[in-house]
Structure 1
Amino acid sequence: MKRDKEFEMYIKDAEKPFSGWDFSFISETGRVSSSMLSWSYGSMVIPLVQNASSMLDMGTGGGELLSKFQPFPEMICATEAYPPNVPIAKKRLEPLGVKVHQIGEDNLLPFSDRQFDLIVNKHEEYSPQEVRRVISDDGIFLTQQVGGTDCKELNEHFGVPLNDVFSHWNLSFAKHQLQSHGFDVLEAKQEFPVQRFYDVGALLYYLKAIPWQMPDFQRDNYIEELYSIHLMIQSKGYFDVRQHRFILKARAK
């Protein structure tokens, strides 16, 4: 099938580099948008940071978000498992007093027992048992998570099954897990906001950043599926998928 020049332009445009956890290339240009959640992770984090004496940010990415939550407690650490993000996070955060630790597994955190009275986590895997080990009694754990059905319409369109590893991951499961590992759950919400793509290049750029959505995804193997999305956007104006988000705030017993 002959494809138009605009499609080829968007496909090439998606080759722009992605680093840290920074989607500004497509978000700040209005090429992708998401409907609102009924909560704000940032607004929940800020007062907790101000009242903490020691804190850990799990999965800090390039430190983009954490750097905006200053002033920090006297003792603050961050973890990051994705090697390319680590030097980015260190460059951004260590001048601010944040000790950045590269880790391999979230169930093996390089910290002492009861070291933190606040642990925050946005979209990062965690072990409830390990979080309980490193958090102090009465410490607060706040996490916003991506649920197992996130953007399932992408998988459906490309004919790729959802990753079975995450299929169970939802608010009910995570809440029960925390309660079983010594936490009282204080707040719990789950929602499915719409994520809207206005061009196929933005969609492809996004897919490159989330390789777990469709493991081993190779652009050239799905050109026809991408082109059908391009034609849909030309006709309708956008391509929608549903995100899966939940948030939990818990106190260690």
Structure 2
Amino acid sequence: MSEAAEAERARFEALVSEAAAVSVDGWDFSWLDGRATEQRPSWGYARAMADRMGRARAALDIQTGGGEVLASVPKLPPLTVATESWPPNIARATALLHPLGAAVVADPDEPPLPFGDNAFDLVVSRHPVTTWWTEIARVLAPGGTYFSQQVGPASVFELVEYFLGPQPPEVRGSRDPEQARAAAEAAGLDVVALRAETLRTEFFDIGAVVYFLRKVIWMVPGFTVEEYRPRLAELHHLIETEGPLVAHTTRFLIEARKPDA
């Protein structure tokens, strides 16, 4: 093995080992600072959500993760509740949100939501894995609003398909914004806003790829470094010789209102 090849292999092992060891609890991606970039949607979800929170009386944040986005709201409603399913995130969100007056409820992210009918005038969710529209409509009070930023179709599929191969049309086309519109309307909600954008994402080293796939577990289900080590090594070589891996993130913003009684 040449000296250059040995140096590349050593860098690969160091980057992968570091990324495989770091905690992926919560929904904070600051570990990727300087190692990956993702263009942000133009609508500014956190700011827009905070504005709606400031006018709400009772709010629910579904699948809050570690509570980081909800904790950024300057003024929470008098009644604020968050749900989360993953135990490490439940603990993290509880520690972060309880001092702010928000309750965290452990919930498996399956129907039914553990709340009564017409309980909230605002329900929000950032990047939910699944949106249970009928349940959202049930817990919204008449005149209440659901406000959500969601992952769109074929998001970061340059990376997904590098590891999994070409995906069938039904997989690439899932999470289409128009499907969300139809499901919201079928649940009895009026969609008042729907916007979608495609955004540039770059991974500057293989450690960033490993960290991302460990954290966003639905991208490559069952991902482990050992199972994908040969493909990771090939991708490391491509990044080292040709520059960052460029992918495209898709996001959509949906706002739906429950009709007044």
Alignment TM class, shorter chain as reference = over 0.9
1:46 to 50, 63, 68: 50
Cα RMSD for the two superposed structures = 1.8
Report % sequence identity.
33
Distance 2:236 2:109 in 1: 38
CA drift of 1:218 comes to 2.1
Write the mapping of 1:101-180 to structure 2, written as runs, cut at 5 A: 101-124=105-128, 125-160=130-165, 162=167, 167-180=173-186
Write the mapping of 1:210-225 to structure 2, written as runs, cut at 5 A: 210-225=216-231
Give the corresponding residue for 2:32: 26
Alpha carbons of structure 1 residues 122 and 196: separation in structure 2 relative to 1, 3 Å = same
Equivalent residue of 2:226, what SS? helix
More deviation, 51-60/220-229: 220-229
**Is the Cα–Cα contact under 8 Å of residues 18 and 207 in structure 2 kept in the other structure?**
yes
User: What number of residue pairs does the alignment pair up?
Assistant: 251
**Is the Cα–Cα contact under 8 Å of residues 16 and 210 in structure 2 kept in the other structure?**
yes
Per the normalisation by structure 2, the TM-score is 0.90
Alpha carbons of structure 1 residues 159 and 46: separation in structure 2 relative to 1, 3 Å = closer
CA drift of 1:224 comes to 2.1
CA drift of 1:236 comes to 2.6
Equivalent residue of 1:137, what SS? strand
CA drift of 1:165 comes to 6.8
- Does residue 230 of the first structure (1) align with residue 232 of the second (2)? no
Equivalent residue of 1:193, what SS? strand
One-letter code aligned to 2:191: V
Distance 2:109 2:11 in 1: 42
**Is the Cα–Cα contact under 8 Å of residues 162 and 213 in structure 1 kept in the other structure?**
no
Extract structure 1 runs of 4+ deviating beyond 3 A.
159-167
Give the corresponding residue for 1:240: 246
Distance 2:163 2:108 in 1: 31
- Does residue 96 of the first structure (1) align with residue 91 of the second (2)? no
